[in-house]
Amino acid sequence: GAVVSQHPSRVICKSGTSVKIECRSLDFQATTMFWYRQFPKQSLMLMATSNEGSKATYEQGVEKDKFLINHASLTLSTLTVTSAHPEDSSFYICSAYGLLGTDTQYFGPGTRLTVL
């Protein structure tokens, strides 16, 4: 089946620093990738939609200058949390939707971000 990887799986950083999270589709080309955030014991909230070669579309309430998304190729999207603060600590999950003839998104394993 289709595999989506994320790197790193876990990151701890100091307040004020920036953190980059990578999302890769390993065995298929992803026309669209999505970034979600999940706080403890809560559901997933869509942050943004990332399409290869174009600007990301952010959901209402998500600061585009804080969460920078780049979709450089059909297999790679990156999320950079700039000037991270403790309230940005969360589980970030990406998903990829590609030309596989299936009607489903494939989710990455997630990245747990802790900002001290």
Q: Which two tokens stand for residue 110?
A: 């997630």
User: Could you say which residues in the range 36-75 bind other proteins, by CB under 8 A?
Assistant: 42-46, 49
Is residue 114 involved in binding other proteins (CB under 8 A)?
no
Query: Which of 35, 97, 113, 115 forms a contact with other proteins (CB under 8 A)?
Result: 97
Assess 34 for contact with other proteins (CB under 8 A).
yes
79 lies in the site for other proteins, by CB under 8 A: no
**32 vs 82, which CB is nearer to other proteins?**
32
Count the alpha carbons within 13 Å of 19 in the hemisphere toward its beta carbon. 25
Establish if 29 lies at the interface with other proteins (CB under 8 A). no
Q: Calculate the alpha carbon distances from 83 to 18, 77, 80, 103 in Å.
A: 5, 20, 9, 36
- Location of structure tokens 């990406």: 94
Give the residue, chosen from 32, 70, 80, 89, that forms a contact with other proteins under the rule CB under 8 A.
32
- How many residues at the interface with other proteins, by CB under 8 A? 20
Q: How many residues are there in the chain? A: 116
Tell the burial category of 86 from Cβ atoms under 10 Å away from its Cβ (0-12, 13-18, 19+).
Answer: exposed
Judged by the rule CB under 8 A, the positions of this chain that interact with other proteins are 32, 34, 42-46, 49, 93, 97, 102-110, 112
